[in-house]
């Protein structure tokens, strides 16, 4: 159950030649794959390409009709290994994942694939999660592409360009016998646009064809002496073939401008931002016509030396707009120009910041400085004006008014009560070393929980605590999610702990989905869909690999959480201990039950929904509920009592009725200021009678109370 369904949008994947396609970048990528005659597709979800996996899953019927095999891979390494099918056979294959973390996971298979080379086109669509909205460490895919000598496409965030990159990517791969990486930033994934569609193509060569006539070439095996020959092939054949293909097909774009003595070279993915920055600097119009010549690198590796020499010839200075660090393109360009004795000054880092996302504001300042130095007359009377160079943009104004808010667990998240229990336990037992992991549970490192000493990789929480298995009186605690468990944690975490006789505790948060990436199904999901086998038990897998001490707890049961955690940390039993804490992701639960509730209400059936609130007259204002829970629906409001100044707790309408806020308020005992209300739809005659009786009794008691107050006042 993904966070978004593309069931309606995927109909556009059936459009034929000459018809106009309209939609999101992610959907355009899928259409381009089908137009290219892809044979198989795999991948692992993660921002910003999670929706690509969702689109492919929703389009599985269309893929099947065309003879395209699709699977949601167990990990990025699994997906990368799929591309082995293209080594010996003319099968076009595509895989996708979040980069650079996914590329790191897939690196073993990718390096071997790049060494062996491919016969069929192999395309790796990576979501470049870099910049202000990223959820990972800040690195670039470019380094990996250079290391393994795979070609890297970075198309302009414009649907026709993205579709062209997919189609040409397969051809480039086949022409150079090398896998190709296609890099998409989040804005490219979700940009809307249109392009003229082509007919979908069945694979020219199918997996059945390959199985009927197996092919083997020892020269493609990753063993000496083949590997030495493969390295020579990279240098002598594949690299020159790639440069020739890029140049002949004109995959990169050049445009002129009136200021022909300067120029800007930019990554294709930054095209829109650069054009907008130039427009703000009065150096481009709203239709994308720049007054400064541009060289747009839709292929950022390999570079084409002849194109660089041609663009830079006769220019006094050229600015290289390359996001992130190190400045790989700038360094390579410097060598190219020097070897060809092109005297243009090359600027990049220094005028532009070394790291960080190149937003429009960042580019406006950097390009503005470049123009001020090398073409001050280009700014039409604005040159030298500090106010014109740095206007206060709406984003900067907004930042002054809106406080920063770090990421956190969602309203009603089942992980919130478990981490609240851990926080309460540490008050009793003292601080614990907690190895955190990637996933929703990583937000427990932030307020109000503030627990977690490290995050090393998906499913590596238990492995990160390996060096702390001292066998002494204290035990290290590790966290991983169900997604991380199936991705990597079963072997590298739990299996390693069994093999090395660890004595620590590993908590596996089982929320039934790969929740942090959008709610996709995983092997333990209870509702995996018709194309998958789910409901595989985490506890059975843990026991099967050798763990003896295994416990199960419901995350919303605070008392059980505390009891089980305390037992795990104090039991005399030696060996690895595992707690599987289960609670369905509340976002996915709401997506699942809301349509059902709406349907039931519409059909006139009786429906009861729970909500919680705070009695302002009872609330003491100590806010322990907020400090221990931090639920977004739990906030404060002014105290109605004029004699008390402390604000009282308040539950907003976004509440989903989990009840955690009240339960954690006083060491897992329901705070008396919290109350539970039932919202009743389509009440029966009995419900209506009870409501009248309750109203009558409450009204009588209220009137008696008012009379007493009146006598006291007199």
**At a CB cut-off of 8 Å and minimum separation 6, what does 511 contact?**
414, 415, 440, 481, 482, 582, 583, 584, 585, 588
Does the structure show a pLDDT above 80 at 1? no
Altogether, the residues listed in the chain come to a count of 714
pLDDT per position as a tens digit, 52-77: 888 998 899 999 999 999 999 999 99
Distance CA 646, CA 636 (A): 10
HEC string of 374-437 equals HCHHHHCCCCCCHHHHCCCCHHHHHHHHCCCCCCCCCCCCCHHHHHHHHHHHHHHHCCCCEEEC
Q: Are 468 and 476 in contact (CB under 8 A)?
A: yes
Q: Are 44 and 71 in contact (CB under 8 A)?
A: no
Q: How would residue 617 be classed by pLDDT, with cut points 50, 70 and 90?
A: confident
Of 53-57, 322-326, 392-396, the least confident = 392-396
DSSP state of 76: H
What's the rounded mean pLDDT across residues 446-463?
90
**At a CB cut-off of 8 Å and minimum separation 6, what does 70 contact?**
40, 41, 42, 56, 57, 60, 63
Distance CA 274, CA 281 (A): 10
**pLDDT score recorded for residue 509:** 95
Distance CA 273, CA 53 (A): 27
Could you identify the residue written with the tokens 């006769």?
314
**pLDDT score recorded for residue 386:** 42
In a 3-state reduction of DSSP, which class is residue 680? strand
Could you identify the residue written with the tokens 């604000």?
647
Strand-pairing partners, residue 477, are: 434, 505
CA angle (635, 641, 645) in 5-degree steps: 65
Count, in order, helices (H) and strands (E) of the chain: 29, 24
pLDDT per position as a tens digit, 574-584: 999 999 999 99
pLDDT per position as a tens digit, 330-344: 999 999 999 999 999
- Cα–Cα distances (Å) from 352 to 8, 211, 311, 320, 384, in that order, read 43, 53, 21, 9, 19
**pLDDT score recorded for residue 151:** 98
Q: How would residue 132 be classed by pLDDT, with cut points 50, 70 and 90?
A: confident
Distance CA 403, CA 76 (A): 37
What's the rounded mean pLDDT across residues 488-507?
94
Distance CA 324, CA 313 (A): 26
**pLDDT score recorded for residue 515:** 84
* Nearest partner of 127 among 82, 189, 78, judged by Cα: 189
Does the structure show a pLDDT above 60 at 390? no
Distance CA 418, CA 229 (A): 55
Could you identify the residue written with the tokens 């290289």?
320
* Nearest partner of 578 among 642, 631, 502, 522, judged by Cα: 502
What's the rounded mean pLDDT across residues 115-122?
96
Distance CA 205, CA 83 (A): 15
- Cα–Cα distances (Å) from 188 to 28, 163, 192, 273, 628, in that order, read 10, 12, 9, 12, 39
**546 conformational bin, left if phi > 0, alpha if psi -120 to 50, beta if neither:** left
Beta strand 345-352 with 93-99: parallel, antiparallel or unpaired? unpaired
pLDDT per position as a tens digit, 468-497: 987 777 899 999 999 999 999 999 999 999
pLDDT per position as a tens digit, 655-711: 888 877 766 654 435 577 888 888 889 999 998 999 899 899 988 888 887 777 656
């Amino acid at each position: 159950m993904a966070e978004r369904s593309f069931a309606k949008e995927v109909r556009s994947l059936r459009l034929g030649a000459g018809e106009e396609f309209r939609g999101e970048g992610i959907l355009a990528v899928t259409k381009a794959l089908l137009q290219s005659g892809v044979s198989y597709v795999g991948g692992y979800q993660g921002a910003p390409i999670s929706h690509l996996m969702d689109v492919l899953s929703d389009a599985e019927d269309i893929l099947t009709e065309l003879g395209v095999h699709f699977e949601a891979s167990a990990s990025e390494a699994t997906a990368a290994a799929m591309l082995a099918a293209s080594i010996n056979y003319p099968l076009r294959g595509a895989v996708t994942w979040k980069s650079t973390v996914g590329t790191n996971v897939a690196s073993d298979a990718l390096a071997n694939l790049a060494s062996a080379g491919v016969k069929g086109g192999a395309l790796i669509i990576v979501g470049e999660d870099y910049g202000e909205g990223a959820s990972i460490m800040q690195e670039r895919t470019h380094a990996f592409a250079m290391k393994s000598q795979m070609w890297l496409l970075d198309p302009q965030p414009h649907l026709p360009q993205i579709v062209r990159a997919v189609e040409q990517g397969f051809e480039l791969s086949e022409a150079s016998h090398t896998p190709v990486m296609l890099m998409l930033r989040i804005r490219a994934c979700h940009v809307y646009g249109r392009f003229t569609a082509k007919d979908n193509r069945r694979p020219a060569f199918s997996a059945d064809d390959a199985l009927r006539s197996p092919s083997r070439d020892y020269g493609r095996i990753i063993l000496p002496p083949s590997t030495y020959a493969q390295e020579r092939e990279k240098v002598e054949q594949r690299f020159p073939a790639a440069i020739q293909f890029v140049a002949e097909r004109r995959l990169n774009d050049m445009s002129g401008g009136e200021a022909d003595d300067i120029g800007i070279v930019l990554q294709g993915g930054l095209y829109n931002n650069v054009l907008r920055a130039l427009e703000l600097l009065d150096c481009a119009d709203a239709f994308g016509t720049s007054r400064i010549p541009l060289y747009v690198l839709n292929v950022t590796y390999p570079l084409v030396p002849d194109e660089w020499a041609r663009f830079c010839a006769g220019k006094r200075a050229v600015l290289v707009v390359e996001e992130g660090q190190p400045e790989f393109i700038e360094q390579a360009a410097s060598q190219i120009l020097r070897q060809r004795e092109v005297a243009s000054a090359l600027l990049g880092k220094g005028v532009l910041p070394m790291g960080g996302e190149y937003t429009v504001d960042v580019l406006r300042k950097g390009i503005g400085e470049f123009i001020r130095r090398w073409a001050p007359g280009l700014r039409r009377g604005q040159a030298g004006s500090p106010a014109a160079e740095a206007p206060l943009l709406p984003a900067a104004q907004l930042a002054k008014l809106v406080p920063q808010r770090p990421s956190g667990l969602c309203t009603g998240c089942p992980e919130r009560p478990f981490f609240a229990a851990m926080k309460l336990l540490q008050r009793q037992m003292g601080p614990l070393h907690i190895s955190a992991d990637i996933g929703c549970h990583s937000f427990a490192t932030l307020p109000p929980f503030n627990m977690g000493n490290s995050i090393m990789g998906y499913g590596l929480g238990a492995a990160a605590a390996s060096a702390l298995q001292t066998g002494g009186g204290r035990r290290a605690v590790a966290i991983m999610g169900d997604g991380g468990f199936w991705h990597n944690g079963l072997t590298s975490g739990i299996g390693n702990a069994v093999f090395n006789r660890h004595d620590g505790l590993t908590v596996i948060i089982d929320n039934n989905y790969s929740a942090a990436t959008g709610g996709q199904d995983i092997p333990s999901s209870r509702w995996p869909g018709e194309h998958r086998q789910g409901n595989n038990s985490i506890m059975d897998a843990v026991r099967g690999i050798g763990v003896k001490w295994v416990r199960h707890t419901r995350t919303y049961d605070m008392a059980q959480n505390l009891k089980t955690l305390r037992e795990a940390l104090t039991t005399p039993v030696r060996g690895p201990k595992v707690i599987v804490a289960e609670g369905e992701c509340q976002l996915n639960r709401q997506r699942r039950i809301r349509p059902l509730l709406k349907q039931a209400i519409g059909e006139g059936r009786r429906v009861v929904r729970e909500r919680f609130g705070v009695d302002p007259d009872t609330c003491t204002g100590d806010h322990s509920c907020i400090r221990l829970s931090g639920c977004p629906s739990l906030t404060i409001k002014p105290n109605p009592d004029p004699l008390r100044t402390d604000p009282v707790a308040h539950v907003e309408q976004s509440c989903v009725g989990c009840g955690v806020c009240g339960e954690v308020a006083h060491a897992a005992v329901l705070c008396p200021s919290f109350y539970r209300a039932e919202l009743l739809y389509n009440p029966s005659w009995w419900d209506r009678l009870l409501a009248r009786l309750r109203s009558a009794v409450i009204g009588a008691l209220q009137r008696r109370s008012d009379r007493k107050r009146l006598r006291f006042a007199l």
